[in-house]
Amino acid sequence: MVRFSSELLLFTVCAAAYQEAESTNGQQQRIIQSPVEPGSVQRKLQGRFLHITDIHPDPFYKAYSITDGDHPCHGKAGKGDAGYFGAEMTDCDTPFTLVNATFDWIEKNIKDDIDFVVWTGDSARHDNDEDYPRSSKQVADLNRYTVDQFVRIFGKTGKIDPKNPLDSFVVPIVPTYGNNDILPHNIFTKGPNRWTREFEDIWRGFIPQEQKHSFARGGWYFSEVIPNRLAVFSLNSLYFFDSNSAVDGCDAKSEPGYEHMEWLRIQLEFIRERGMKAILTGHVPPARTESKQNWDETCFQKYTLWLRQYRDVIVASIFGHMNVDHFMFQDVAELKYKFKIDGLESEDYEAEEGFDIARDTSPVDTLGAKKAYLSELHDSWAGLPKPPKGASYNPLNSSIEADLVKRRKRKGGKKKKQKEIDKFYKQIGGPWGERFSLTLVSPSVVPNFFPTLRIIEYNITGMEREHPASHIMGTPAEVFYGQLDDVTEIPPEEPLRAERRRRDTEDVDVQKKRRKKKKKKPKRPPKPNFPVPLPPKSSSAPGPAYSPQALSLISWKQLYANLTEINAAHKESANSNGKHKPGNGPSVDYKLEYNTSHDKYYKMNDLTMMSWLHLAERIGREELQHGDVEISERLDESDAVTNIAEEADWTDLGVDDSDFDSDHESESQDVHASKKGGKKKKNKKAKKKKMKNHLWKEFLRRAYVHTMTDDELDEIFGS
């Protein structure tokens, strides 16, 4: 094996040197030399990275103002209970005090333990107050302010080097556009535009030189965070976002969404060719349930297909925006293009019904909307194929089982049982669950619940002596956008678009009827009218998202700051003017909420697909008691939060009435009623329906960052 010693080679940005080398799995790969200053001391890989999202700094935040109404935390100080470090569990944005304290905490606690930072957008305040309208300058300034925080903590010298901006940080940082980072929010036109130009400057320390041109086309790029090993892609999800009325999906060649997907396809192909892996990041995740769809369907379709075809390359997909801690699967069965994808007919899978109803694309703001969305996720997990006896989703078992299956086959063992097991694995796309892809969503810094950070541990076996990129770098595949039209295509098939148009105009009843008819006599499904990404080579091993290997995610720590506690301590210790001596007040501490691998609930051995399916299938069960999962005897209870906030009451939490809009589910009306009825009545209400699946309940506690009491969860979800 050829070890490439990048330190020995001098580098010129434009003329990246290529050489052939043998990678560990014997594939030929191209190596692009990374830029390294001779003699520079480099940090070794730590096997961890930080995901931070939705910071939403608000310069107009006033401590002790009123948290609700038309001016969330912008009113007169002294009249309300907006905390010094932010108003947890409200719609208020983040005061600078919390932004400062969060970055201070990062510096003290994790700065030296991470290899790179994934920063998934929304670094300006919301457009939530008529008296404080947003301006382009304000939105840009708040983004500059947030970049300054990164410079303060991760900067090599405390400023962005004007001569060599890409050499300004100790670790690579990969930012993405959020829907509030532009004006008006959600509306991102085809590039180049005002906002690609603005951010070319704001993010000058982050966008690789070689990709400036492509960034100008639409605000997308990737950064090679571990030279020749791992690239982090910054997707501009606003081109996929259904609320962006300036664009129209990903099917028409004239659309930036189409070009974005083409770019992604070509770059992922290039990454594959080089034997590298990729993490995809973006702001708005591809959430798609009956009541909620974030992305235009044409973009969702392509993305799902891309994830499928590049499943040997993609390590993980990481998003923000929704503020709720959760995850979602993309399912080959949801692909409307029915064609053979490397040996498997997508029609082999049983898709879920009911996906063409008009869906809500607004953020899951209200409790009712969140309830509906999370319940639908739960229902979809309930529909996952059930493992028969002798098979399981447990990843520790799946490879052993795969072997057993083969051996039993040879022996010609029990036919019927074997058939069931074979069917199960066929249903989930083989022993690694390759029918599915995964999207991870971290909750936010803005304290809609509690502020949070996520530290993700990944596998660096065999790379212990390597280092994160010391300069921002990332040589893209050579692609000339002017030539996009020349890409060879599968001939377009008209039915595709006709079908869409028909669906858009038909009413629901007609659609239902048609679906019934279709079931009886399946029509020939549409073929894609765009270049379909190539699948992995049939000889290649399952990717890092499926089988544990170098660069696979292993675990994460979800951290939270209990602002209720911290604000109270701050208030108490201040003098009569509410002031502290400089540097004397209590500050913000982020504590462990949970660790995916080390708590009595999730206990995930790693974060590969089968681990997620194992978790989701159990969450989806009607009933699941503690005994149904193996509880670790050595559990360190002090490590993580479990049944906290038991005593809290809505009225104490300052949750706004408007969270319980009357036109939402009856369950939220129940909460409303009981809140109005006062504490006594609520506590007496003895025969509340308790949730019967402790894992589902824990998932929900985490979704809301442990701000909801168990009683509240029972009332909302326990029906």
Ligand X SMILES: *[C@@H]1O[C@H](CO)[C@@H](O)[C@H](O)[C@H]1NC(C)=O
- Rule CB under 6 A: say whether 565 interacts with ligand X: yes
The least CB distance from residue 598 to ligand X, in Å, is: 4
- Rule CB under 6 A: say whether 452 interacts with ligand X: no
- The conformation of residue 18, written as its DSSP 8-state character, comes to E
Q: Residues touching ligand X: how many (CB under 6 A)?
A: 31
**Cβ atoms < 10 Å from Cβ of 184:** 12
The least CB distance from residue 79 to ligand X, in Å, is: 21
- Rule CB under 6 A: say whether 90 interacts with ligand X: no
Piece of 121-129, 171-179, 376-384, 591-599 that binds ligand X (CB under 6 A):
591-599
- Rule CB under 6 A: say whether 461 interacts with ligand X: yes
The dihedral of CA 405, 409, 414, 415: what is its sign?
positive
- Rule CB under 6 A: say whether 573 interacts with ligand X: no
Spatial separation of the C-alpha atoms in residues 593 and 52, rounded to whole Å: 15
Which one, of 268, 185, 253, lies nearest residue 220 by Cα? 268
Site string for ligand X, 697-716 (x = CB under 6 A): ---------x----------
Say whether the peptide bond before residue 184 is cis (omega within 30 degrees of 0): yes
277 forms beta bridges with 230
Spatial separation of the C-alpha atoms in residues 551 and 279, rounded to whole Å: 10
Binder among 58, 181, 434, 606 for ligand X (CB under 6 A) = 606
Site string for ligand X, 345-384 (x = CB under 6 A): ----------------------------------------
Binder among 268, 322, 553, 641 for ligand X (CB under 6 A) = 641
Binder among 2, 13, 396, 487 for ligand X (CB under 6 A) = 396
In the bound state with ligand X, the residue whose beta carbon lies nearer, of 148 and 248, is 148
φ, ψ (nearest 5 deg) of residue 385: -55, 135
- The conformation of residue 345, written as its DSSP 8-state character, comes to E
The least CB distance from residue 443 to ligand X, in Å, is: 13
- Rule CB under 6 A: say whether 557 interacts with ligand X: yes
Binder among 43, 44, 76, 96 for ligand X (CB under 6 A) = 96
In the bound state with ligand X, the residue whose beta carbon lies nearer, of 243 and 397, is 397
Contacts of 655-663 with CB under 8 Å at 24 or more apart are 655/89, 655/90, 656/67, 656/68, 656/90, 656/91, 657/68, 658/68, 658/366, 659/366, 659/367, 660/366, 660/367, 660/368, 661/366, 661/368, 663/368
In the bound state with ligand X, the residue whose beta carbon lies nearer, of 19 and 461, is 461
Binder among 243, 361, 597, 669 for ligand X (CB under 6 A) = 597
Binder among 285, 548, 586, 620 for ligand X (CB under 6 A) = 548
Residues 202, 119 contacting (CB under 8 angstroms) = no
Burial of 278 (0-12, 13-18, 19+ CB in 10 A): buried
Helices vs. strands in the chain: H and E counts, helices first: 18, 16
Amino acid 78 reads G
Binder among 119, 556, 601, 717 for ligand X (CB under 6 A) = 556
Site string for ligand X, 644-683 (x = CB under 6 A): xx--x-----------------------------------
**What tokens does 252 get?**
């028409």
- Rule CB under 6 A: say whether 180 interacts with ligand X: no
In the bound state with ligand X, the residue whose beta carbon lies nearer, of 119 and 556, is 556
Piece of 210-218, 247-255, 422-430, 451-459 that binds ligand X (CB under 6 A):
451-459
Spatial separation of the C-alpha atoms in residues 430 and 311, rounded to whole Å: 13
In the bound state with ligand X, the residue whose beta carbon lies nearer, of 81 and 565, is 565
| Beta pairing, strands 553-560 & 28-32 | unpaired
Q: What is the dihedral angle through the alpha carbons of 366, 370, 373, 375, rounded to the nearest 10 degrees?
A: -130
Binder among 555, 558, 567, 668 for ligand X (CB under 6 A) = 555
What lies within 8 Å, CB to CB, of 417 at 6+ separation is 388, 389, 390
Spatial separation of the C-alpha atoms in residues 481 and 267, rounded to whole Å: 13
- Rule CB under 6 A: say whether 457 interacts with ligand X: yes
- Rule CB under 6 A: say whether 398 interacts with ligand X: no
Binder among 120, 236, 564, 668 for ligand X (CB under 6 A) = 564
Site for ligand X, rule CB under 6 A = 96-97, 100, 392, 394, 396-397, 455, 457, 459, 461, 548-550, 552, 554-557, 562, 564-565, 595, 597-598, 606, 641, 644-645, 648, 706
